[in-house]
Structure 1
Amino acid sequence: MADGLLDPRTIRQIAAELDLRPTKQRGQNFVHDANTVRRIVAASGITPDDVVLEIGPGLGSLTLGLLEVARAVHVVEIESSLARRLPRTVADRLPAASERLHVVEADALTVTDLPDPQPTAVVANLPYNVSVPVLLHVLALWPSIRTGLVMVQLEVADRLVAPPGSKTYGVPSAKVAWYAEAARVGTVPPKVFWPVPNVDSGLVRLARREPPATTATRQQVFAVVDAAFAQRRKMLRGALAGLFGSSGEAAAALERAGVDPQARGEVLGIADFARIAEHAFTRD
């Protein structure tokens, strides 16, 4: 049902009706190209069995594409006018799918529950300014999500998929790796958005996996990650001194964890951080 997807003219009509002026503050850049929407939906790998969570649906371009395939779509939208308008857009463009759309008007960073059925996939054009916190929040709260595809600023995409030892590896890379394997599966040019952003976007595919086997909690592991990268040029024995009480104690604990005290956080994988956390928070 390609006719159901939005085109640039319709997007501007709806925006004018709502007196909507997209703001950088909320990272609002709306996809207006139907082919790009189809490409995102195809790359996500969702099936008619999937229940999709979409963050920041905006005017509904991607929502309509998802509803053509998925069993149901939950959308979380912070902007009241957009949240109220979306059901009408779906009713106008894809009426048979109206009952499969569930709109939650809220800040995605504060949402803690969704109506059944629970989501099995996350597919979203994430707002540039909050993309990483939102993604981590969603992965933490909904273990039912097994797959995903997010469109983010290209620089953020590179960080999400970066392996240990690479220049772009950092906190987002390590924390996402706790939940899932991440891979870049495409680039999206600025011209398919309104308003046109100043940068390219990247598509990141996610596949849920089990976190490293560890006695430490996720919060403890993430505390080690944060400390290791807070002063990323420092050796770990110095960067983690605050967690252990001194650089000497940090060095001893790192050796017990099988990690070189003179290494830097950028060379460690998430399993290494988990081993360190066991010695940081479960000391005798």
Structure 2
Amino acid sequence: MTDANSEPAAVAPLLGAADIRRLAEEIGVRPTKTLGQNFVIDGNTIRRIVSAAGVDPEETVLEVGPGLGSLTLGLLDAAKQVVAVEIDPVLAAKLPETVRAWRPDAADDFHLVLSDAMKVTDLPVQPTALVANLPYNVAVPVVLHLLEHFPGLRHGLVMVQDEVADRLAATPGSKIYGVPSVKAAWYGHMRKAGVIGMNVFWPAPKIHSGLVAFTRQEAHNTHATREQVFAVIDAAFAQRRKTLRAALAGWAGSAAEAERCLVAAGVDPTARGEVLDIGAFIRIAEARHPQAA
């Protein structure tokens, strides 16, 4: 316990706008739209993200797209270890140097993987949390890929395009409820955790970013596979204006078979996919693929 007369603990410095631009200049990097690079230049925003993520001091955090290290340093202050996946070899080469310069005591707790996050299926340490500022154009596929291949990810927080954040967290009946919403719900509970303005990035994007927090839930008690359930989801939303009986006809082989599966699952054949929760999609898949005796 701290003595009443003692000095408060110093807050570790984080990268600011001048630091980010200097580091980028040192390695000749200009943020590219292709890779969705928008670097956070505000320390308070980093602290807000780390706090909202609820990282435990004993956790290993997975960060995707660390860039120049803005969020990385904040995560190293909060977690036991950080493993970062970076696709850009120039940025990846600089990051360990930045960590050693800014967090020398945590350098051994930092692990870097040079790879496309969509191709990563193994890591040097197993993460329990995902915290990342994700490129807008690949945010949903990356989140779903990581949740599929790293079951140890119990919770996390990702920063994505605000519209995407709303879609991931949408619930049945909403106009924006769709494929990302349902597939994310297969893994756990998603919720909107805040909005981030444009001026805390370099370069500043033209749209706001949204924070999405997730908590993994227990595996569903079903004999249907993830692939089977996701096939139903894709078919239901491919023609979302159609009734499920019509939309699932191709998936089931005929409209009559689609109706049989829907009735067996306790779903109204005249309903549309946007009103079904993940449990309903699971029951439809089970009806089409009955458990072997």
- What percentage of aligned pairs have identical amino acids? 59
The one-letter code matched in structure 1 to 2:83 is H
Q: CA deviation at 1:24?
A: 1.1
User: Is structure 2 residue 236 aligned with structure 1 residue 228?
Assistant: yes
User: Is structure 2 residue 53 aligned with structure 1 residue 44?
Assistant: yes
Q: Determine the structure 1 residue equivalent to 2:35.
A: 26
User: Is structure 2 residue 196 aligned with structure 1 residue 188?
Assistant: yes
Q: CA deviation at 1:283?
A: 7.9
Q: Determine the structure 2 residue equivalent to 1:177.
A: 185
Q: Determine the structure 2 residue equivalent to 1:100.
A: 109
Q: Determine the structure 2 residue equivalent to 1:128.
A: 136
Q: Determine the structure 2 residue equivalent to 1:209.
A: 217
User: Is structure 2 residue 258 aligned with structure 1 residue 258?
Assistant: no
Segments of structure 2 that go 5 or more residues without pairing to the other structure are 1-9
User: Is structure 2 residue 121 aligned with structure 1 residue 112?
Assistant: yes
User: Is structure 2 residue 154 aligned with structure 1 residue 146?
Assistant: yes
Superposition pairs of residues 8-23 of structure 1, within 5 angstroms: 8-23=17-32
Aligned partner of 1:72 among 73, 81, 89? 81
Aligned mates of 1:15, 1:127 — CA distance in 2: 18
Aligned mates of 1:149, 1:122 — CA distance in 2: 6
Segments of structure 1 that go 5 or more residues without pairing to the other structure are none
Aligned residues: 283
Per the alignment, in what secondary structure is the counterpart of residue 68 of structure 1? helix
- 8 Å contact kept, 2:223–2:291: no
Per the alignment, in what secondary structure is the counterpart of residue 221 of structure 2? coil
Per the alignment, in what secondary structure is the counterpart of residue 195 of structure 2? strand
Q: CA deviation at 1:4?
A: 3.1
Segment of structure 1 superposing worse, 126-135 or 20-29: 20-29
User: Is structure 2 residue 88 aligned with structure 1 residue 90?
Assistant: no
The one-letter code matched in structure 1 to 2:278 is I
The one-letter code matched in structure 1 to 2:74 is G
Which stretches of structure 1, 4 residues or longer, exceed 6 Å deviation after superposition?
A: none
RMSD: 1.1
- Bigger radius of gyration: 2
The one-letter code matched in structure 2 to 1:221 is V
The one-letter code matched in structure 2 to 1:153 is Q
TM-score (structure 2 length as normaliser): 0.95
